[in-house]
Amino acid sequence: MSKGDKLGFREKGIWSDLLFVILGSALMGLGIGVFLVDAKVVPGGVSGLSMTIHYLSGGAIPVGIMMWIFNIPLFIWGVVELGKQFGVRTLVGFTLSSFFIDFFRGEFPIIGGPALQKSSSIIALLQEDFLIAVLCGGVLLGIGLGIIFKFRGTTAGSDIVAAVAQKRFGWKPGQTFMVVDFIVISLAGLVIHFKGLTVGRPALTLTLYAFTMLFVSSRIVDVIIDGFDYARSATIITEKTNEISEFILNDLSRGGTSLYGRGLYLKKDRQIIYTVLGRHEMSKLVRRVKEIDEDAFVVVNNVHEVLGEGFRPRI
């Protein structure tokens, strides 16, 4: 086993993976530490629970340190329950994200940090454009998490809880995330309400902001991991396969595959065309298919990744 495998990163590009995990952790730290903590909008999971403890302590306990403390027993639990898949890369991921949150807030022990949340621009944004501030925090959080996950890092926390719940009880990860986030955000809302930390907005309003922000950041994580839909696939069932094939080959300069199938209703053998095109090319194809054969049956699907001639690969 190579050193890269032992560290939990890919054998090829281990250092590039690590650099991207650092970048993702820094963006996540910016989103939470600079925008969300002072906005009192909690993202759920261990980070949200840590923010809740931060509020209960009157700001005496830094969010990042609390995250790291919460994640240590979860990390050990994950290794015991699930094996070494929660190895060094998990430790690196949640340690870096915890560090950057406190560093950007100027609250990291001994070395401090720039305290970006105290800058006049951030303060003005929170006071005058609260929604934009929350969206900035959610977007940075989503991009950071997406980069970490894409390059095989992990931030522990809810990931471990979800994996153990799936193994022991058969719960789907999405269900676990939803339950955990709902409990954490609701608990944070109660703490904010009873501590009088509403920053001029009712606690219920801040809780609704939190759920909205959670949805936005989750969607961004999906986009970073899967990418935008930059291609479409089409399955075409028609009696005029030759004409449509010629249009794909000659007019669109694309390839395709002819499959053989049998209709269930008419019990008739026929050719089925399968092709992958760019988004703009697909509209041309669909329009032309309808001109050639009004009775053609066309199914179009989004494609996140295409490996092959004529398409750019993703990272």
**Fold category of 231-303 in CATH:** Alpha-Beta Plaits (3.30.70)
pLDDT attached to residue 179? 87
pLDDT attached to residue 168? 82
pLDDT attached to residue 186? 92
pLDDT attached to residue 244? 93
Q: What is the pTM of this model?
A: 0.75
pLDDT attached to residue 123? 94
pLDDT attached to residue 8? 47
Over its length of 315 residues, how does the chain's per-residue pLDDT go in tens digits? Answer: 444 444 444 445 678 888 998 999 999 999 999 999 999 999 989 999 999 999 999 899 999 999 999 999 988 888 888 776 567 778 888 999 999 999 999 999 989 899 999 999 999 999 999 999 999 999 999 999 989 888 877 888 887 888 788 778 888 776 788 888 999 999 999 999 888 887 778 899 999 999 999 888 888 887 787 666 567 899 999 989 999 999 999 888 888 999 988 888 878 888 899 999 887 788 889 989 999 999 899 999 988 777 776 665 555
DSSP the chain: --HHHHHTS-STTHHHHHHHHHHHHHHHHIIIIIIIHHHT---SHHHHHHHHHHHHTTT-S-HHHHHHHHHHHHHHHHHHHH-TTSSHHHHHHHHHHHHHHHHHTT-BTTTB---GGGSHHHHHHHHH-HHHHHHHHHHHHHHHHHHHHHTT----THHHHHHHHHHHH---HHHHHHHHHHHHHHHHHHHHHHHT--TTS-HHHHHHHHHHHHHHHHHHHHHHHH----EEEEEEE-S-HHHHHHIIIIIS----EEEEEE-TTT--EEEEEEEEEEHHHHHHHHHHHHHH-TT-EEEEEEES---STTSPPP-
Domain boundaries in the chain? Answer: 3-226, 231-303
pLDDT attached to residue 28? 95
